[in-house]
Chains A and B, each alone.
Chain A
Amino acid sequence: SQQGEEDPQALSIQEGENATMNCSYKTSINNLQWYRQNSGRGLVHLILIRSNEREKHSGRLRVTLDTSKKSSSLLITASRAADTASYFCATLRGDSNYQLIWGAGTKLIIKP
Chain B
Amino acid sequence: DTAVSQTPKYLVTQMGNDKSIKCEQNLGHDTMYWYKQDSKKFLKIMFSYNNKELIINETVPNRFSPKSPDKAHLNLHINSLELGDSAVYFCASSQDGILGGEKLFFGSGTQLSVL
Residues on A lying within 8 angstroms of B by beta carbon are 2, 30-31, 33, 35, 40-45, 48, 50, 86, 88, 90, 92, 98-100, 102, 104-105
Contacts and interface: CB of A to CB of B under 8 A. Distances in A.
B66 interface: no
Contacts of A98: 98-99, 101
Interface string B49-81: 000000010000000000000000000000000
B98 A100 contact: yes
Consensus secondary structure, chain B interface = mixed
Contacts of A105: 41
A33 B41 contact: no
B42 A92 contact: no
A63 to B, nearest CB: 13
A42 B98 contact: no
Between B90, B92, B106, the greatest number of chain A beta carbons within 10 A of the residue's beta carbon is seen for B106
Contacts of B109: 40-42
Nearest to B111: A40
A42 B90 CA distance: 7
14 contacts: A2-B42, A30-B101, A40-B108, A40-B109, A45-B103, A88-B43, A92-B101, A99-B56, A99-B98, A100-B98, A100-B104, A104-B41, A104-B42, A105-B41
Contact of A102 (B4, B42, B107): B42
Interface residues of B, number: 20
A44 B92 CA distance: 10
Contacts, number: 49
Between B43, B99, B105, B107, the greatest number of chain A beta carbons within 10 A of the residue's beta carbon is seen for B43
A77 B4 CA distance: 29
Given A100-B98, A104-B42, A42 B103 contact: no
A42 B41 contact: no
Nearest to A44: B106
B44 to A, nearest CB: 8
Contacts of A48: 101, 103
